[in-house]
Amino acid sequence: MFGYYGKILHIDLTECKHWVEEKPEDWYKTWIGGVSMASRLCWENIKPGCDPYSPENPVCIANGIFAGTPVPVGGKYGLASKSPLTNFIGDSLSGSWFSVALKRTGWDGIVIHGASDEWVNVFIDDDRVEFRDAAKLLGLDTFETEEAIREELADDQVRSATIGPSGEHMVRYANVTNDGRQAGRTGHGAVWGSKKLKAVSVRGTQGIKVADPDTLNKLSFDITKEAQGPHTSKYRILGTTTNVLNMNKLGLLPTRNYQEGVFEDAEKVSGEFLHEHHKIKTIACAQCPIACEQMSIAKKGPFTGAMTGIEYECLFANGPNLGINDMNAIIRLIEVADRSGMDAITMGLTISWAMETFEKGIFKREDFKSEKHPDGLDVRFGNGEAAVAVAEMIRDREGIGEILSEGTRMASLIIDDQRNTETWKWTMQAKGLETAGYDGRGLKTFALGSAVGVRGPCHNRTAAYDPDIQGEVDRFKVDDRRGELAKDTEEYAAVYDTLPLCKFIRRCFTGKADRAGAWPTIAQLVNATTGWNFQYEDIDLIGERAHTIKKAFNIREGWKRADDDLPYRWKHDPMTKGPSAGYVVTDEELEYMKDLYYQAKGWTQDGMIPKQKLHELGMPDVAEAIGV
């Protein structure tokens, strides 16, 4: 077999042992890699119904098919566990050198079972597994942890996926970080924390062989050159922060906990402003010829010197969403999230919920007492210093950080119970996962995609903002095309998330990013790597399969149609300013669109999957377990 080794490494933290599971080539042809393979491994190895913090919740890592080859942007891997935020599948992607090093070890994937008694750094050294004492690593942030392990093992080629203090404290939305990139959402860091798993390190020395290196090199070379042109110029120069002003102009920039969609100081927190005043350098992940990561530094005020990579999502969540117009504070907030290892989006939306709760008089200054701030904090929208203090309290689970570290859904449940309030009405989440930087009230297809999202309202997984924002449909209305469209965009995205390939490359194959423009080249890349004979339809199937295994996982964990829902605000509170003012997604509209979507997917009205469909997709065991 080329492209795969046929072997999954199983590690048991409770008993400190490991074993090898061999998988046949057909298994790889079905699950490929990334989120699909990781979710499939989770399906195979989890005890259904278990608590996400229990030893029965496995940590599943699945490498990318192109990792370690010159295929541009192919250096990525998938990570899946049951999410402690949603109790459904938590599937994430990360990238860069960890996946390259993993490819050289000879393992296609890793499943980590059980829980350790003592803090541990699992070290996978080619085919050797070591359980290293991680006591000295405790308290170190994500970057420091990686460096410390590299120094300890005296090898620059050792790459580590780590948790920071947030994960150690089991902040429910803590993340896993490697090489400055994150498997960001759904709370993986908390799962690792529950296992006392501080880091997973890999070192691989084997060479990577492919079936047809000449073809692979030629294709990769051409795509690499294409990636320097206009199809990626936005990513390279401003990165994804370009979207701040775009969204503001359409009235969709989440402002002050999504109360509005226009931010009066959008210019000051725009990608353009960042580029002009704060950017140091644009850098790349391993294997990426585009380079979109905008490394930026805070230059004035109390947070001078804070430095990290800035993306649109963390920017909106900790900028306009908090009413903060000072880029220095925003950079520091994102740095706190990145260094301590927590989801910057969820962190921002939890703080914005807290701010609104404060402005409504439910939270008071004293609620925010801490060692550093014995008089509490004035947690009003726009107060950057207070926001940073709250972020640190979350990281440390200090004072009210104890509650805020649970995410908006659980925090509001606790507060509403204690204080007889209705703060849940302004939590910006669905299924327990916080929303992203696009407002569903002005993007109705996206609203559908958010509601039915298997890991929650994730913009990356649904990608259904495309038809709304490209003007293919009327973004303020619903019609009978929406189900089909949401199905199309999510399955399209799933192909990239499974190989994985970073979606930013999608225009560099033929100039057109649609299936006809991308699938043929992707098939060629897959075939040159593996020696298979994948055609257009096989690439298409990748997406549908990936999405279906995740959906099946959710069904087995108890998903019901009513769980596909939207934040209260999107259904009841219209914006009052800007071009998207006045709209909500009504219950009627949502249920209508859900009907269309389930139909388009070939599911029942309740959103269950017919046995036959699962057989057609090549997953008979799933059909047995949850098919109807």
Partner 1 sequence: MPVSTSKYRYVDCDPDLCIGCQICEYVCSYTKTGEYNTYRSRIRTVRVDEVLITAIACRTCENAPCVIACPQNALEQDLDTGIIHIDNQKCDACAWCIEACDFGAISINPATKLAEICDQCEDLEEGPQCVLWCPKEALSLTTPDQRAQKSRRELVKEEVVGPKK
Partner 2 sequence: MTLDLQKGADIGDVVNALGKAFPQLLGEIIEKDGKSLIPTNIFSVNGEKIIHESDLQYQPDEGDRLILLSLLSGG
Contact residues: partner 1, CB under 8 A: 68-70, 97, 100, 104, 143, 156-157, 180, 205-210, 213, 217, 221, 224-225, 227-228, 280-291, 295, 307, 309
Q: Tell me how far apart the alpha carbons of residues 202 and 146 are, in angstroms, rounded to a whole number.
A: 11
**What tokens were used for 550?**
């995740």
Nearest Cα residue to 80 out of 199, 192, 5, 194? 192
Q: Tell me how far apart the alpha carbons of residues 623 and 626 are, in angstroms, rounded to a whole number.
A: 6
Q: Tell me how far apart the alpha carbons of residues 586 and 373 are, in angstroms, rounded to a whole number.
A: 43
Residue recorded with tokens 């999107």? 570
Nearer to partner 1, 203 or 455 (CB): 203
Nearer to partner 2, 195 or 231 (CB): 231
The amino acid at 506: R
Helix (H, G, I), strand (E, B) or coil at 260: strand
Cα-Cα-Cα-Cα torsion 483, 488, 490, 495, nearest 10 degrees, comes to 160
Q: Which does 30 bind (CB under 5 to 8 A by kind): partner 2, partner 1, none?
A: none
Centre a 10 Å sphere on the Cβ of residue 153 and count the other Cβ atoms it contains.
18
**How many Cα atoms are found within 13 Å in the side-chain-facing hemisphere of 351?**
39
Give phi and psi for 624, each to the nearest 5: -60, -45
Q: Which does 437 bind (CB under 5 to 8 A by kind): partner 1, partner 2, none?
A: partner 2
Nearer to partner 2, 467 or 627 (CB): 467
Angle at 463 between CA 461 and CA 465, to 5 degrees: 145
Helix (H, G, I), strand (E, B) or coil at 95: strand
Residue 504 interacting with partner 2 (CB under 8 A)? yes
Residue 509 interacting with partner 2 (CB under 8 A)? no
Which of 282, 460, 498, 554 binds partner 2 (CB under 8 A)? It is 460
Nearer to partner 1, 227 or 433 (CB): 227
Nearer to partner 1, 463 or 528 (CB): 528
**How many Cα atoms are found within 13 Å in the side-chain-facing hemisphere of 218?**
6
Residue 475 interacting with partner 2 (CB under 8 A)? yes
Nearer to partner 1, 294 or 357 (CB): 294
Q: Which does 251 bind (CB under 5 to 8 A by kind): partner 2, partner 1, none?
A: partner 2
Q: Which does 311 bind (CB under 5 to 8 A by kind): partner 2, partner 1, none?
A: partner 2
Q: Which does 380 bind (CB under 5 to 8 A by kind): partner 2, partner 1, none?
A: none
**What tokens were used for 37?**
């393979």
Q: Tell me how far apart the alpha carbons of residues 404 and 417 are, in angstroms, rounded to a whole number.
A: 15
Question: Rounded to the nearest whole angstrom, what is the least distance from the CB of residue 526 to partner 1 in the complex?
Answer: 16
Nearer to partner 2, 419 or 477 (CB): 477
Judge contact between 441 and 251, C-beta under 8 A.
Answer: no
Nearer to partner 1, 97 or 598 (CB): 97
Centre a 10 Å sphere on the Cβ of residue 367 and count the other Cβ atoms it contains.
17
Mark 406-445 with x for binding to partner 2 (rule: CB under 8 A) and - for no binding: -------------------------------x--------
* Residue 291 CB contacts under 8 Å (≥ 6 apart), including other chains: 236, 282, 283, 284
Q: Tell me how far apart the alpha carbons of residues 539 and 32 are, in angstroms, rounded to a whole number.
A: 10
Mark 300-329 with x for binding to partner 2 (rule: CB under 8 A) and - for no binding: -----------xxx----------------
Nearer to partner 2, 466 or 557 (CB): 466
How many residues touch partner 2 under the rule CB under 8 A: the total is: 38
Give phi and psi for 11, each to the nearest 5: -125, 135
Judge contact between 70 and 138, C-beta under 8 A.
Answer: no
Residue 465 interacting with partner 2 (CB under 8 A)? yes
- Give residue 32's region: left, alpha or beta (phi > 0; psi -120 to 50): left
Nearest Cα residue to 538 out of 617, 461, 627? 617
Question: Rounded to the nearest whole angstrom, what is the least distance from the CB of residue 285 to partner 1 in the complex?
Answer: 7
Q: Which does 520 bind (CB under 5 to 8 A by kind): partner 2, partner 1, none?
A: none
Question: Rounded to the nearest whole angstrom, what is the least distance from the CB of residue 288 to partner 1 in the complex?
Answer: 5
Question: Rounded to the nearest whole angstrom, what is the least distance from the CB of residue 325 to partner 1 in the complex?
Answer: 25
CB neighbour class for 375 (10 Å; exposed up to 12, middle 13-18, buried from 19): exposed
Which of 242, 421, 524, 599 binds partner 2 (CB under 8 A)? It is 242
Nearer to partner 2, 336 or 464 (CB): 464
Mark 199-238 with x for binding to partner 2 (rule: CB under 8 A) and - for no binding: -------------------------------x--xxx---
Judge contact between 615 and 607, C-beta under 8 A.
Answer: no
Q: Tell me how far apart the alpha carbons of residues 174 and 192 are, in angstroms, rounded to a whole number.
A: 9
Question: Rounded to the nearest whole angstrom, what is the least distance from the CB of residue 504 to partner 1 in the complex?
Answer: 13
Q: Which does 117 bind (CB under 5 to 8 A by kind): partner 2, partner 1, none?
A: none
Residue 369 interacting with partner 2 (CB under 8 A)? no
Q: Which listed range, 115-123, 183-191, 249-257, 396-404, lies at the site for partner 2 (CB under 8 A)? A: 249-257
Judge contact between 391 and 385, C-beta under 8 A.
Answer: no
Q: Tell me how far apart the alpha carbons of residues 341 and 178 are, in angstroms, rounded to a whole number.
A: 10
Nearer to partner 1, 100 or 110 (CB): 100
Question: Rounded to the nearest whole angstrom, what is the least distance from the CB of residue 146 to partner 1 in the complex?
Answer: 11
Q: Tell me how far apart the alpha carbons of residues 301 and 320 are, in angstroms, rounded to a whole number.
A: 19
Q: Which listed range, 2-10, 126-134, 162-170, 505-513, lies at the site for partner 2 (CB under 8 A)? A: 505-513
Q: Tell me how far apart the alpha carbons of residues 326 and 580 are, in angstroms, rounded to a whole number.
A: 25
Q: Which listed range, 6-14, 26-34, 351-359, 575-583, lies at the site for partner 2 (CB under 8 A)? A: 575-583
Nearer to partner 1, 2 or 476 (CB): 2
Question: Rounded to the nearest whole angstrom, what is the least distance from the CB of residue 344 to partner 1 in the complex?
Answer: 17
Nearer to partner 2, 199 or 502 (CB): 502
Nearest Cα residue to 458 out of 436, 491, 426? 436
Residues that bind partner 2 (CB under 8 A): 230, 233-235, 239-243, 246, 249-251, 311-313, 437, 459-460, 463, 465-466, 468-472, 474-476, 503-504, 507, 512-513, 578-580
